[in-house]
Amino acid sequence: MDHEPTFAVIGAGMSGIASGVKLQERGYDFTIFEKAATVGGTWRENTYPGIACDVPSHIYSYSFDLNPEWSYLCSPGAEIQEYFERITDKYDLRPQIRFEDPVVSCIWSEDDRRWTVTGASGHSVVVDFVIAATGILHHPSIPTIEGLDTFAGPLFHSARWDHEVELDGKRIGLVGTGSTGVQITGALADVAAELKVFMRTAQWVSPVDQVAYTEEEKQAWRTDADLLREMHESMQQAFNDGFATSVLDGKSDLVSAIAQRCTEYLDTQIADPELRELLRPDYTPACKRLVISHNFYDAVQKPSVTVVPGQIRCIDETGIVDAEGVHHDLDIIVMATGFQVDRFLRPMTVVGRDGVLLDDAWSDRPSAYLSVTVPGFPNLFMLNGPNSPVGNFSLIQTAELQLDYTLGLVDMVAAEQLAVVAPTAEAAEAFEEERVEAAKKTVWATGCRSWYLDDRGIPFAWPFPFDRFRTEMAEARLSDYERV
Ligand code: NAP
């Protein structure tokens, strides 16, 4: 390459901020396009009552800037948002971010081997490389339920919380009992006059202690960077050896141990036998994303809370009709119904080689070679994109490893070992074939409905052990890329 590489990063959430830090560290020229007025991605958008990270905060931290200030083992969402804002300021990234300028198109030119990336403002940059840090749990999914539009009161998705709406003393209907719905239940049980939790499928709920860190602990981490790093690494290791490994085999001992722990929790916490059986799941634990909660079982036993099982029949002007045909009068409806997880960069227009649209390349379903690159779309990298380990490893560690891989490939272009970064179609197909076979053996494929499954019912995430991911990301296999 006859010049220093240049970049466009799409999104200033967790992965986009990490990209900015690493690109800045190398002194590269880059622009980050962000659709909103500030950074933070999912932590900016999700502000629902009870929001917290259910992964330990000391894991959910950048390895290059650990945080001694976390207040809890699993800290509240606002604190995580503050962390991302602080990192953005500390590394002085704001001048590189084009806020409120969502990317509308990325167009590849084979002649000069560059991307033209254009925001909604009309501003364009012409760069060598594009890093898509657009997130996965990003586009709300609102199911089609008869009469949904007819409800007269406020109705909103959990990721679009309307803070103008008074909750105190109201009759609230909450649709969905995923990780989000469970956290909202815990927060609203004491606020609402009545909280009706519409639960289509019972969840496996794993208990977690609400550990608040003391001032002494935080002071020790502030003054001893090694202590903080050791804790981060040991927690990460335990997570990767434990939960991340257990999901790779639906019949593993670790899955049985999760079942035992959750069953014991259910049996000892829920006093009413009828409610206990209602909440007992009938599929393998961790098949859906495991719910981790310190207060859901307390909340559902409060007099103000009712769990309504089954498929909702319809919604009308005044409430929800349940599977039995019973009408529940409501003032507010919250849809904690999850996300469309197959969007990634879409709806932006991404045009690769020979004018091929990414939408067409992904017309069956999105996929990416080793979760990062796509044949026909040179010099485009995805962080936490298709086939990433979204359900098993730490998303931050994943993004950091994918960034290392990306920058390793950029180095190969800079050193003229590669003309562009373009995985061969054969390598991508072989990876996908092997991935699908492994995915069929994971716990996610043991027979439940979840956002981990693609349109064929095959889990779309990375189904191999963590060590394989780390090894693959450590150095690109040149033979899988088009050579000069
Ligand atoms: P989700 O896991 O996809 O759950 C959606 C819920 O909505 C499920 O209970 C689902 O029922 C229900 N639902 C969907 N369509 C429905 C319909 N037509 N009628 C009735 N119920 C319907 O979404 P989420 O809870 O927002 O969580 C998404 C992911 O975000 C999580 O899995 C997790 O990875 C992440 N998250 C993380 C945290 C954290 O603390 N780290 C917190 C929140 C979310 P079924 O189960 O029957 O399909």
Beta strands at 332-335 and 171-175: parallel, antiparallel or unpaired: parallel
Residue nearest to atom 17 of ligand 1 (CA): 143
pLDDT of residue 245: 85
Q: How many CB atoms lie within 10 A of CB 178?
A: 19
Residue nearest to atom 46 of ligand 1 (CA): 201
Crossing angle of the two packed helices 14-25 and 77-90, in degrees rounded to 10: 20
259 Rama class: left (phi>0) / alpha (psi -120 to 50) / beta: alpha
Q: 3-state class of 159 per DSSP?
A: helix
Find, among 12, 5, 10, 34, the residue nearest to 91 by Cα.
12
pLDDT of residue 251: 87
Ligand 1 pocket at CB < 6 A: 52-55, 137, 143, 145, 158, 175-181, 183, 198, 200-201, 289, 312, 336-338, 449, 451
pLDDT in tens, the chain (484 residues): 889 999 999 999 999 999 999 999 999 999 999 999 999 999 999 999 999 998 999 999 999 999 999 999 999 999 999 999 999 999 999 999 999 999 999 999 999 999 999 999 999 999 999 999 999 999 999 999 999 999 999 999 999 999 999 999 999 999 999 999 999 999 999 999 999 999 999 999 999 988 999 999 999 999 999 999 999 999 999 988 888 888 888 888 989 999 999 999 999 999 999 999 999 999 999 999 999 999 999 999 999 999 999 999 999 999 999 999 999 999 999 999 999 999 999 999 999 999 999 999 999 999 999 999 999 999 999 999 999 998 888 899 999 999 999 999 999 999 999 999 999 999 999 999 999 999 999 999 999 999 999 999 999 999 999 999 999 999 999 999 998 7
Ligand 1 atom at minimum distance from 289 CA: 32
pLDDT of residue 393: 87
Ligand 1 atom at minimum distance from 60 CA: 41
Concatenating the DSSP letter of every residue in 324-376 gives TS-EEE-SEEEE---EETT-TTTTSEEE-GGG-BHHHHTSS----BTTTB-TT
Distance in angstroms (rounded) separating the CA atoms of residues 118 and 403: 23
pLDDT of residue 109: 98
* 437, β-bridge pairs: none
Q: How far, in Å, is the centroid of ligand 1 from the Cα of 136?
A: 13
Q: How far, in Å, is the centroid of ligand 1 from the Cα of 181?
A: 7
Q: 3-state class of 251 per DSSP?
A: coil
Phi, psi of 202 (to 5 degrees): -65, 150
- To test the ligand 1 pocket, which listed residue (179, 291, 312, 343) has its Cβ within 8 A of the most ligand atoms? 179
Amino acid letter at 116?
A: T
Q: How far, in Å, is the centroid of ligand 1 from the Cα of 163?
A: 21
pLDDT of residue 420: 98
Find, among 54, 61, 342, 359, the residue nearest to 207 by Cα.
54
pTM of the model: 0.96
Q: What kind and span of H or E run contains 156?
A: strand 155-157
Q: What is the largest CA-CA distance in the chain?
A: 72
